[in-house]
Structure 1
Amino acid sequence: MFNFNLGMIFTCLTQAHSRTCYLQRAWLGMLILLVGAPSFATTLSLQEAQQLALNQDIYFQGSKLEEAAYQYDSDAADRWDNPTITTTLQSVPTDGFSLNQEPMTQLKLGIRQAMPRGDSASISRTIAIEQAQKEPVKRAARRAWLLREVSMDWLAWYQAEQTVVLLREETQSIVQLLEMVESSYRSGVGGTQQQDIIQLRLERLRLEDTLLQEQQAASVALAQLSRWFDFSSEVSFTVPETLNHHDIYPFNASFARQVERRDLLNIIDAHPSVQLLAKDEIVATQKLSLAKEQTKPMWAFEAAYGYRQDAQNGISQADFVSVGVQVDLPLFSSKRQDANVSASAARLGATSTQRRLEVRRLAALAEASETQLVSLLARQQLFDTALIAQSERLAESALNAYMADKGAFDDVMRARISHISAKLDALALHVDIAKNLAELAYLYYPLIKEQPKDTHRSAIGLNRGSNIDTHTITAIGAQQ
């Protein structure tokens, strides 16, 4: 087995083409050939899984193409329609079809240019620009969502793998206890009975069955995680031995309770999902302006030159020049135009309402997550300070009493089951806290999107222009 740094190797395997990456690939290939192994194991941390998912998510490429398309649309929207050129041979006499027989016969060449309605061209260009500017916000929203989803899947895999580790340790302990009880039974020391041995063997079989189920759950969890990125079939992944909550959530656990409600709303208002709705609101405002421009008249200008041949008697006939202006009158379409304006105004109101609802929803989720986190941390403290230690002492005490022929074997089994259950509950609690922090990291994405090393300095920089009090940010940084 070999351990590698995914941060360098997988980036090179997936997209990079630098000289360093070529060397990494060559080194990796030579190493596999030298050891002759079909696969190697590597530790996949949460940060590496997130980075792999971000690097291989094709949504970002599609979003950039969509942004480029809107930029081209903006260039095309602020252009006039092509002029219209007409050629007409008019007033030709039908009795002889001679072009110089009658004085009104002429060859007419005309050009017509229609103008946009009011400022509709400029507004259409603004709409396309705003649509293009939505794409970076969409990518930010996608990034925040993707980090949360990958975190949840990775944590589910971590819990399953760590559960397997705990069950293997407990199985080994059961095997050692079984050997001890069998030895005591064979030597006739104490009150060991054959049913105690059978009960231990049955417990070992149950643990092995549970272990197989958890191994299956770990494989399913890894498969679920792998949907976010591709990797070679020659690579097998293992989870880190420890999980650092600070890597998921760089602030202290009670961050939201250190800011006022108004400040929390300002933070949530900067969230990409809210900013996306704010962009939709700007687009809806421009579409309302565009609908109002459609009620204005559309003008067109035209000019024509009429060429006439000389008359049959040789007299020269003057050519004609014509100029004209056209304007349409919204006599029959006024109701339709008014209806379009009303519809655009209603959509603007609906978009504004959606943005306010999204702010309230995310703020409520943040407060609920903070409240839940307080309870989870209190439970974790209980497990760390008392419950795990007490259950371990109970298991040791029950075993010692049994070996001294002062206790029942059922007490030993109940104590061991209680102890492993406490350890599994502690693991589940540890993961639940991490999931809660991943949710908070998503909700407070505007503050942690840069993954700051210095929370105090970065929080101030990321919130310039907001209404978050300086003393609040200082208090946050002081408690890190």
Structure 2
Amino acid sequence: MHFDYKIWRPIVCASLVALSANLAHADSYSLENAVTTAQRQDPWVQGSLKRQESLDALSVEAGSLPDPSVSLGVANLPIDTFDFSQEGMTQFKVGVSQMFPRGKTLSLKREKLQKLSEMQPYARADRNAQVAVTVAQLWLDTYRSEQTIYLIEQDRGLFEHLVDVAQSSYTTASGRTRQQDLVRAQLELTRLDDRLTRLYQQRDMSLAKLGEWLGDPVITLSENENSESLIELKAPSLIKERDRSTKLRQLSDVLSLHPKIKRIDQKINAFDSGVKLAKQSYKPQWGVNASYGYRDQTPLGDDRSDFFSVGVSFDVPLFTGKRQDKKVQSANAELEAVKTERALVLRQLKASYDSAEAMYLRLVERKFLFDSRLLKEMAEQAEASLSAYTNDDGDFAEVVRARIAELNARIEALHVDIDMQKNIAQLNYFHAGENLKIEQISPAQ
């Protein structure tokens, strides 16, 4: 007694429908809409705005003079009587002193913090570009699963037909169909069901990850997309350039505009101001003080003149070997470290671009091979094997293998198309600096 697939298939389908029932009233997102929504709702951007706002506020504070000091006191009070008018030198004193930082310390501190603040717009631009890549790849992974499910469901009827043919031929003994052929046909149908279950699982996982970026736990994909033109390649001329020296020059120009590099350039400017700030330690620090001394009348009632004092103080940085020199040395070392960071990031970007470009070119070759020959040849092989079996000149197992191979070839062609789209999204990331507009305003404004 064999187990008829027509009995248990509705059970499997019902479970798959149950897993997808919550998508019935979900919001639908196209690729472009998903990317823009994720960028708009990214909480990291709000954190960057707050960091910029904090640095802007600190720059204003750093450029302000320190608060003046006020002193109050009684001088030369006789301790035998504590009489304020007894002695001529007894006075009530009020003093004010103000310190002035060395050289251009205030303006340089403010300049450094402003340049650190101006790194944030470039950081946000790079973040937006990264979010575009991540969300596009998640969307495309989901799209790949859905299209693969569609291809398998489309061919399911053909495999069911093969099972019916094998069962009819075996029952009537009109052909050369054996029991193992019937079992093989039913097995392939069962494996298709298992494959569908795994694809639904992959799709649901991709949708969940995509929903995290969109802030929407229940979503679906728009169905009016064409896998041939999901993402437009921003710089096909750079891909097609064959002269290596010209290509390297163009790539260097493109990457030098990338927001990740521009952010480090702004950091270099900030640390350059830090070197200038450290050199201000060689200059003296000045201070001004003034005081007023009030005196009471003499015991006989005569008025006494009040006192006014004013003075200037400054330090003299004579021993600079272990203080100022080391401070400047440290600032220079920090600046060189940031320059090294820029060279490292630029090298990483170039290597990543070369890898993505090489993958793209190979995918183009594979797509051409699938479109021009492979899909056609696989279809011809499947038709030939079926025709031979129909004419009692072929093996049923070969028919099943040929149909499975054709289906796998069409699925693989779909994967090549999707991988090309994902690769284009990655390549477009490296052109994020082109037409980049950074608004030079503070978050508060």
Query: Cα offset for 1:172?
Result: 2.2
Does structure 1 conserve the Cα–Cα contact (< 8 Å) formed by 2:382 and 2:406?
yes
163, 167, 181: which is aligned to 2:166?
181
Aligned length: 414
Query: Cα offset for 1:189?
Result: 3.1
Counterparts of 1:66-81 in structure 2, within 5 Å, are 66-81=51-66
Counterparts of 1:24-423 in structure 2, within 5 Å, are 39-40=24-25, 43-231=28-216, 233=218, 235-237=219-221, 240=224, 242-245=226-229, 247-252=231-236, 255=239, 257=241, 260-330=247-317, 335-423=322-410
Query: Cα offset for 1:431?
Result: 1.6
CA distance in 2, matches of 1:256, 1:124: 48
Is 1:428 matched up with 2:415? Answer: yes
**CA deviation profile, 1:382-408 (whole Å, cap 9, x unmatched):** 000000110011001101100110111
CA distance in 2, matches of 1:86, 1:314: 29
Residues 388 and 241 of structure 1: is their aligned pair in 2 closer, same or farther, counting only changes over 3 Å? farther
Match for residue 8 of structure 2?
none
TM-score (norm 1): 0.81
Higher mean alpha-carbon deviation, 174-183 vs 388-397, is at: 174-183
CA distance in 1, matches of 2:435, 2:229: 14
Q: 1:370 is aligned with what amino acid?
A: E
**Structure 1 unpaired stretches of 5+:** 1-36, 451-461, 463-480
CA distance in 1, matches of 2:282, 2:96: 26
Higher mean alpha-carbon deviation, 386-395 vs 350-359, is at: 350-359
Match for residue 30 of structure 1?
none
CA distance in 2, matches of 1:375, 1:222: 29
Residues 122 and 229 of structure 1: is their aligned pair in 2 closer, same or farther, counting only changes over 3 Å? same
Query: Cα offset for 1:251?
Result: 3.7
Match for residue 426 of structure 2?
439
**CA deviation profile, 1:330-368 (whole Å, cap 9, x unmatched):** 357751332222111111001011112222221232233
TM-score (norm 2): 0.87
Q: 2:270 is aligned with what amino acid?
A: V
CA distance in 1, matches of 2:58, 2:387: 81
Does structure 1 conserve the Cα–Cα contact (< 8 Å) formed by 2:385 and 2:402?
yes
Does structure 2 conserve the Cα–Cα contact (< 8 Å) formed by 1:88 and 1:108?
yes
SS in 1 for 2:304: coil
Identity of aligned residues (%): 32
**More contact order relative to length (CA 8 Å, sep ≥ 6):** 2
SS in 1 for 2:434: helix
Does structure 2 conserve the Cα–Cα contact (< 8 Å) formed by 1:41 and 1:237?
no
Query: Cα offset for 1:185?
Result: 3.3
CA distance in 1, matches of 2:327, 2:212: 44
CA distance in 2, matches of 1:376, 1:206: 29
Residues 274 and 106 of structure 1: is their aligned pair in 2 closer, same or farther, counting only changes over 3 Å? same
Query: Cα offset for 1:67?
Result: 1.8
**CA deviation profile, 1:212-235 (whole Å, cap 9, x unmatched):** 1111111111112112121264x5
Query: Cα offset for 1:432?
Result: 1.6
RMSD of aligned alpha carbons: 2.3
CA distance in 2, matches of 1:244, 1:110: 80
CA distance in 1, matches of 2:435, 2:429: 9
Higher mean alpha-carbon deviation, 342-351 vs 313-322, is at: 313-322
CA distance in 2, matches of 1:241, 1:310: 98
Query: Cα offset for 1:40?
Result: 2.2
CA distance in 2, matches of 1:102, 1:251: 90
**CA deviation profile, 1:232-255 (whole Å, cap 9, x unmatched):** 64x544555522446242443753
Residues 184 and 43 of structure 1: is their aligned pair in 2 closer, same or farther, counting only changes over 3 Å? farther
Query: Cα offset for 1:43?
Result: 4.2
Match for residue 19 of structure 1?
none
Residues 181 and 238 of structure 1: is their aligned pair in 2 closer, same or farther, counting only changes over 3 Å? farther
SS in 2 for 1:99: coil
Residues 199 and 124 of structure 1: is their aligned pair in 2 closer, same or farther, counting only changes over 3 Å? same
CA distance in 2, matches of 1:407, 1:342: 84
**CA deviation profile, 1:101-154 (whole Å, cap 9, x unmatched):** 111111111111111121111011111211221111111011011111111211
Match for residue 32 of structure 1?
none
Higher mean alpha-carbon deviation, 222-231 vs 66-75, is at: 66-75
Does structure 2 conserve the Cα–Cα contact (< 8 Å) formed by 1:302 and 1:324?
yes
CA distance in 1, matches of 2:194, 2:42: 38
Residues 196 and 254 of structure 1: is their aligned pair in 2 closer, same or farther, counting only changes over 3 Å? farther
Residues 254 and 90 of structure 1: is their aligned pair in 2 closer, same or farther, counting only changes over 3 Å? closer
